[in-house]
Amino acid sequence: MVYTFSNRSVTGDRKEYAIVRFSQEQQNKTINMLRREFLGAAGLALGATAYVSGSGNAAAATPSSNAIEAGDWAALRNLFPLTRDYIQLSTFLLASHPKPVSDEIDRHRRGLDENPSDYWHEHFQTIDGEVSAAAARYMGGQGRQIALTDSTTMGLGLVYSGLKLRPGDEILQTTHDHYSTDLSLANRAERTGAKIRRISLYEDPATISEDSIVSNLRKGISDSTRVVAVTWVHSSTGVKLPLRAMADAIGEINRKRAEEDQVLFCVDGVHGFGVEDQDVSKLGCDFFIAGTHKWIFGPRGTGVIWGSDRAWQQSVAVIPSFSASYGVWLGQETPDQVPVGEHMSPGGFHSFEHRWSAQYPNQRRAGKDVARETLYADEQRIVSRPGVF
């Protein structure tokens, strides 16, 4: 929604440095949508007292102070407590929590600090499903297909550890991947003897073409390749891979193979996530893994894995989830009652105030798709709005 680096914006007044210079009409359109969203949040926040009634008053939401007047870019900037001493270009690294996110974190933190046991019991059975449903509205797919993690790295580690492979099956990765993919795969290989092979999809980013990337991928896939692991946007070069075309090539190969020999296409998507208006379930990949504490300004220590149904079927959980799977263990539910994403979300008691804040309360309550409406309000590349799903 707000901060991106247009061709014209990173000059002049430092205080305004990162605001996209839209036309007045575009600005008004975006801000009006934003304002509606914040007003919605404020109204619903007032109703939130009942939601936390078992935990005393501290966790009750206060009326939102996040409403922004149309065109008030300074107020928008002020949602982020970033120092003005630097030009902040670190969205690719770690988010500053904008006010709506820190308000939500504070609300949950107060609830947990006042009465940890009751507050947790009030929420734990339902809130992961609500966050996953909100994530699906934002990123596509279905809530049940989304696992909640703490980071891209955790998601990659879980996916590459949990894939069911037969002896001799090969994982094909690229020379362009980030440390987190490299080490997740290397660890898998060390633990299980899985075979990993690396190919280069391009030599010189300046002369890159979609055809050459797809052709190199096709050449790289062997009869024993069962997994292709890639990174959507490369942190080293900024190259964004043509995932759809690559998925189509893999699909063509898969159509000639028996089901058990087909290739799964797995993507570290963190640097495209929130930058592109993309339904990730339509990219053609089988797993899309991202952190939500970079480009979409989510709570630090949050991330997602979206998996197609066939991908999840070929995976096992690595860390026990504290979701409905706990109920299965207690004999109260059957495995088919547990959404696969919940089953694959690592459990244990952790920083719930962050995970639970990875959604807007108004979305959770009104079930509206306000995120997409606000995010992609016009044709410009809009990085994100100050919040998450």
Instruction: Find out whether 241 and 231 touch, Cβ atoms under 8 Å.
Output: yes
299 sits near ligand PLP (criterion: CB under 6 A) = no
- Per CB under 6 A, the list member of 111, 140, 284, 303 interacting with ligand PLP is 303
Nearer to ligand PLP, 123 or 300 (CB): 300
For ligand PLP, the nearest residue by Cβ is: 291
CB of 178 to ligand PLP, least distance (A): 4
Question: Which residue, 199 or 239, has its beta carbon nearer to ligand PLP?
Answer: 239
User: In whole angstroms, how close is the CB of 91 to ligand PLP at the nearest point?
Assistant: 11
Q: Which of residues 120-139 bind ligand PLP (CB under 6 A)?
A: none
Task: Estimate to the nearest angstrom the gap between the alpha carbon of 283 and the chain centroid.
Answer: 15
Euclidean distance between CA atoms 317 and 320, whole angstroms: 7
Q: Please state, in angstroms and rounded to a whole number, the distance separating the CA atoms of residues 35 and 39.
A: 6
Please tell me whether residue 323 binds ligand PLP under the rule CB under 6 A. Answer: no
Taking the least distance from each CB to ligand PLP, the nearer of 23 and 200 is 200
**Integer Cα distance of 98 and 113 in angstroms:** 22
Residues 366 to 385 in contact with ligand PLP, rule: CB under 6 A:
none
Closest CB to ligand PLP among residues 50, 93: 93
Does the footprint of ligand PLP cover residue 152 (CB under 6 A)?
A: yes
Which uninterrupted H or E stretch holds 287? strand 287-291
Q: Which of 30, 115, 153, 345 binds ligand PLP (CB under 6 A)?
A: 153
CB of 154 to ligand PLP, least distance (A): 7
Q: Phi and psi of 148, rounded to 5°?
A: -100, 130
x-marked contacts with ligand PLP along 165-204 as a string, rule CB under 6 A:
-------------x-x------------------------
Cβ neighbourhood burial of 201 (10 Å; 0-12, 13-18, 19+): buried
Q: Which amino acid is at 100?
A: P
Contact 213, 241 (CB under 8 A): yes
Q: Burial of 82 by CB count in 10 Å (0-12 exposed, 13-18 middle, 19+ buried)?
A: middle
CB-based burial of residue 76 (10 Å sphere; 0-12 exposed, 13-18 middle, 19+ buried)?
A: buried
Q: What's the first-to-final CA gap in the chain, in angstroms? A: 13
Which of these segments, 25-33, 146-154, 163-171, 333-341, binds ligand PLP (CB under 6 A)? Answer: 146-154
Report in angstroms how near the CB of residue 30 gets to ligand PLP at its nearest: 27
Binding string, 211-250, against ligand PLP, x = CB under 6 A?
Answer: --------------------x---x---------------
Binding mask 266-295 for ligand PLP (x = CB under 6 A): --x-xx-------------------x----
Q: 231: which strand partners?
A: 268
Distance CA 214, CA 309 (A): 25
Cβ proximity to ligand PLP: between 149 and 374 the closer is 149
Write down the residue that tokens 């959507």 correspond to. 232
- Applying CB under 6 A, the residues found at the interface with ligand PLP are 151-153, 178, 180, 231, 235, 268, 270-271, 291, 303
